[in-house]
Structure 1
């Protein structure tokens, strides 16, 4: 039960953290727009927006793909998300 609760928390807070990273990028950055992130990780822009706005959960696999696209480790997303 605890791991399920932790997974849900990590999923939701990772969405907030993704939005912070993406909106902190310069306009010229290749992942500055929702559509850019979506294309890079193979999902729709709507889905990325829903994740960022915590309307849906982000799977472990998708968090890994997003982290790879951003050039960070998944652990960084989880660890930094906890402080958001």
Structure 2
């Protein structure tokens, strides 16, 4: 989300994958579609971080789709669960 937070005026949409939760200003993303992905078995960044971020964005009126892969761990990187949804 850090890049999205800095460049939100230049983006058409964002798709954070297993994002750590930090301060997010929902006003910055109100006009951007957001689709967040997270593996429920992630031992690096808890899925609860994405849940918090999604709730915050939605509370600010953002259009957020949230996909949790129940049997996936950290779904980014080599030898990880591929994202076939996109």
Q: TM-score when scaled to structure 1?
A: 0.29
Whose Rg is larger?
Answer: 2
Structure having the larger proportion of residues in helix: 1
